[in-house]
Copies of this chain bind each other. A is one copy, B any other.
Amino acid sequence: MDSNVILYLLIIYFSVANIDAASKKNAFVGFANKFDHKKTFNRSTSSLSNSISRDECNLPDELTEEISRYKPIVEGIINASVNGIFKKRTWRTLARFVDKFGSRIAGSDNLENSIDYMVDLLKKNQLENVHTEPALVPKWVRGRESCWLVSPRLEKLSILGLGSSIGTPAKGITAHAVVVESFEELQKLGKVVEGKIVVFNEPFISYEKTVKYRGYGAIEAAKLGAVATLIRSVTPFSIDSPHTGWQHYQENVTQIPTAAISIEMAETLQRMYQAGDDILIYLYMEARNLPPVMSRNTVGEITGHQHPEKVVVVSGHLDSWDVGQGAMDDGGGAFISWNALALLKVLGLRPRRTLRSILWTAEEEGLVGAAAYFHDHRNNTAAFDFVMESDEGTFQPLGLSFSGSSEAGCILKEILKLMHPLNATQFASPMDGGPDIEFFTNIGIPGAALLNANERYFWYHHSNGDRMTVEDPTNLDMCTALWAASAFVVADLSIDMPR
Q: Which residues does A use to contact B, with CB under 8 Å? A: 95-96, 99-102, 152-153, 155, 158, 238-241, 263-265, 267-268, 271-272, 275, 324-325, 459-460, 463-465, 467-469
Provide the residues of chain B in CB contact with A275, threshold 8 Å: 96, 99
Contact with A465, one of B99, B240, B459 (Cβ below 8 angstroms) = B240
Pairwise interchain contact B99-A469, C-beta atoms closer than 8 A: no
CB of A332 to closest CB in B, whole Å? 15
A464 to B264, CA, bound (A): 9
Most B-side CB within 10 Å, residue of A100, A272, A459, A464: A464
Copies in the complex: 2
Closest to A266 in B: B469
Provide the residues of chain B in CB contact with A463, threshold 8 Å: 239-240
Contact with A238, one of B263, B264, B465 (Cβ below 8 angstroms) = B465
Provide the residues of chain B in CB contact with A153, threshold 8 Å: 100-102
Q: Taking A99-B271, A101-B153, A463-B239 as contacts, is the C-beta distance between A469 and B158 under 8 angstroms?
A: no
Contact with A264, one of B101, B271, B465 (Cβ below 8 angstroms) = B465
Pairwise interchain contact A239-B460, C-beta atoms closer than 8 A: yes
Closest to A264 in B: B467
CB of A404 to closest CB in B, whole Å? 36
Pairwise interchain contact A468-B267, C-beta atoms closer than 8 A: yes
30 pairs, CB–CB < 8 Å, chain A vs chain B: A99-B268, A99-B271, A99-B275, A100-B152, A100-B153, A102-B153, A158-B464, A238-B469, A239-B239, A239-B241, A239-B460, A239-B464, A239-B465, A240-B241, A240-B324, A240-B464, A240-B465, A241-B241, A241-B465, A263-B469, A264-B324, A264-B465, A264-B467, A264-B468, A264-B469, A267-B467, A267-B469, A268-B325, A268-B467, A268-B468
Provide the residues of chain B in CB contact with A324, threshold 8 Å: 240, 264
Pairwise interchain contact A240-B99, C-beta atoms closer than 8 A: no
Provide the residues of chain B in CB contact with A99, threshold 8 Å: 268, 271-272, 275
Provide the residues of chain B in CB contact with A272, threshold 8 Å: 99
A216 to B276, CA, bound (A): 46
Pairwise interchain contact A95-B467, C-beta atoms closer than 8 A: no
Contact with A95, one of B238, B265, B271, B469 (Cβ below 8 angstroms) = B271
A264 to B268, CA, bound (A): 27
A460 to B467, CA, bound (A): 19
Provide the residues of chain B in CB contact with A238, threshold 8 Å: 239, 465, 469
Pairwise interchain contact A467-B102, C-beta atoms closer than 8 A: no
CB of A240 to closest CB in B, whole Å? 4
